[in-house]
Amino acid sequence: MNLYAVIINIIFLLLFVGILMYMQKKHVSFSKRVFLALGIGIVFGLVLQWIYGVDSETLVQSASWFDIIGTGYVKLLQMVVMPLVFISIVSAFTKLTISNNLGKIATLIIGLLLGTTAIAAAVGIGTTLGFDLEAVQINQGSAELERGEAMEQKYTEIQDQTFPQKIIELLPANPFLDFTGQRGTSTIAVVIFAAFVGMAYLGVKRKQPEQAAAFKTIIDAIYAIVMRIVTLVLRLTPYGILAIMARTVATSNIDAILKLGKFVVASYVALLIVFLIHLLILTISGLNPVTYIKKVFPVLSFAFTSRSSAGTLPLNVKAQTNALGVPEGIANFAGSFGLSIGQNGCAGVYPAMLAVMIAPTVGINPMSPSFILSLIAVVAISSFGVAGVGGGATFAAILVLSTMNLPVALAGLLISVEPLIDMARTALNVSGSMTAGVVTSRVTGELDSDIYNGKTKDLNI
């Protein structure tokens, strides 16, 4: 390792950070700074890989220093997820923004998330068959075998759970444990707990208005503090994207990507088709899809680079409310549910494609109508409780493959291109939750059309 080279690489990264800080002081819009950070990160990453090579120890050490900014930023975002989810939903009850239509709103959001996931599974199946992808086309190296063994180990931990038991796992037996995010279903559990607190508030308000008023004052104060923390963290977004993108591009194995180019292209085609379906749903709802793209692009860009649906939640909610005209309550419900239910990319397209690729290895015809219908149903049902952080797609794949009696270990075949595919999967997950929020607001008549159709503005961060 060349220590001086590592230091130089760090200095260049800090120089780019300084440029972004200068632009912020000059009040350059948030969106422009995000796009510039994305571009600089890509170019800087390519240059680093060209100079050192992907296996260089210098590059590895440089990337670990880049993680202080990149991964550190994602951790800060994850830090505010649980407080944001809880306080925003409780606040929605105290402000009476969702209480009148709570059942309808929750049903619409969950229905849209599961419905689009089923559609995503169908698209994944069709794309895999169209590109004629099969697991036998991929050579298993040491990395693939190691990943397969890890997935089999994970499978042994959950194989004895029945579907009713998996549903029970969604409930918050200990909400304080779930606030730590230790379980894959922690986010949904916090949402459920917050809904109970909100409904309790409404009951107290009817019988003991003075106590309810005191509680509302406390919630309003906590909400203001939490939102201020969210704003402070979101201001770091351009720097986080710069570091994450530089590290991702610099350490990507270009040779492996080229060898598995067919699989990468097929995945991106499937993910793009589902995104177009999101736009079609918005169009059917009477909304301009081009406006949607313009306003959510900064959010999807961050989801793409960070590969964390949970980390993107603050930006997700902010964009829904400030740019798309979705009420805070609905935005938080859609964003929160979207972290663990119906992730179109990680829990829809990905496991469906893997199942179709693996099926021929055990003598199953993937074009059989019974196999296809069963797979779509299993994917939709299994999408409950998929964590919105790294590893969510792996968990979804294990659930689907094991339910379909397919070898779980073969799901590790795409390990070398997993990060590249996961970037687009995460962006699609976030788009799915935002689409659910916008369409639900439209159906319930609570969407602020003036904000949605208004001039595309910065996110005011």
Instruction: Using the predicted structure, report yes or no on whether residue 443 has a pLDDT greater than 50.
Output: yes
Top-confidence range, 75-79, 254-258, 309-313, 392-396: 75-79
Q: Is the pLDDT of residue 280 over 60?
A: yes
Please give the pLDDT value at position 94.
83
361-372 mean pLDDT: 86
Query: What does the block give as tokens for 404?
Result: 């379909």
pLDDT of residue 162: 63
Please say whether the beta carbons of 343 and 390 come within 8 A: no
Averaged pLDDT for residues 238-249: 88
User: Over 50: is that where the pLDDT of 365 sits?
Assistant: yes
Of 121-130, 281-290, 323-332, give the lowest mean pLDDT range: 323-332
Q: How confident is the model at residue 79 (pLDDT cuts 50, 70, 90)?
A: confident
Average pLDDT over residues 381-407: 70
437 closest CA partner among 317, 348, 339? 317
For 102, the domain range is: 3-453
- pLDDT higher than threshold 70 for residue 120: yes
If one compares 304 and 397, the residue with the highest pLDDT of the two is 304
Is residue 461 in some structural domain? no
Give me the mean pLDDT over the 317-340 stretch: 86
pLDDT band at 406 (very low <50, low <70, confident <90, very high): confident
pLDDT at 370 over 60: yes
* Alpha-carbon gap, residue 336 to 298, rounded angstroms: 19
Give the residue, 168 or 423, on which the prediction is more confident. Answer: 423
Residue 44 has pLDDT above 60, yes or no: yes
Lowest mean pLDDT segment, chosen from 209-213, 305-309, 312-316, 390-394? 390-394
The CA distance from 347 to 349, in Å, is 7
Q: How far apart are CA 300 and CA 429, in angstroms?
A: 9
| Residue showing tokens 């590969």 | 307
What does each C-alpha distance from 13 to 49, 176, 235, 375 come to in angstroms? Answer: 14, 39, 18, 46
The answer, yes or no, to whether residue 49 has pLDDT greater than 70, is yes
Please give the DSSP secondary-structure letter assigned to residue 457: -
Query: Is the residue at 460 inside a domain?
Result: no
Q: Using pLDDT thresholds of 50, 70 and 90, give the confidence band for residue 13.
A: very high
CATH code of the domain containing 339: 1.10.3860.10
Residue type, 85: V
- The Cα 380–Cα 366 span in angstroms is 18
Residues 422, 308: contact at Cβ < 8 Å? no
- The answer on pLDDT for 141 being more than 60 is no
Please report whether residue 70 resides in a domain: yes
Residue 187 has pLDDT above 90, yes or no: no
d(CA 35, CA 46): 17
- Mind giving me the DSSP string for 222-248? HHHHHHHHHHHHHTTHHHHHHHHHHHH
Amino acid (one-letter) located at 12: F
In a domain, 129, yes or no: yes
Residue 153 pLDDT more than 60? Answer: no
Residue 458 in domain: no
Instruction: Give the mean pLDDT of 281-290.
Output: 94
Q: Indicate whether 281 pLDDT > 90.
A: yes
Residue 95 lies in a domain: yes
Mean pLDDT, the chain, rounded, equals 83
Instruction: With cut-offs at 50, 70 and 90, classify the pLDDT of residue 439.
Output: very high
Query: What's the number of domains the chain is made of?
Result: 1
Nearest to 164 by CA among 338, 365, 385: 385
Please state the rounded mean pLDDT for residues 346-361: 87
362 lies in some domain: yes
Burial of residue 370 (CB within 10 Å: 0-12, 13-18, 19+) is exposed
pTM as predicted = 0.80
Residues 45/271/238/414 CA torsion (nearest 10 deg): -40
Q: Which has the minimum average pLDDT: 105-119, 394-408, 420-434?
A: 394-408
Q: pLDDT higher for 281 or 244?
A: 281
The answer to the question of residue 407 being in a domain is yes
**Model pLDDT, residue 144:** 47
Joined together, the tokens standing for residue 340 give: 């663990």
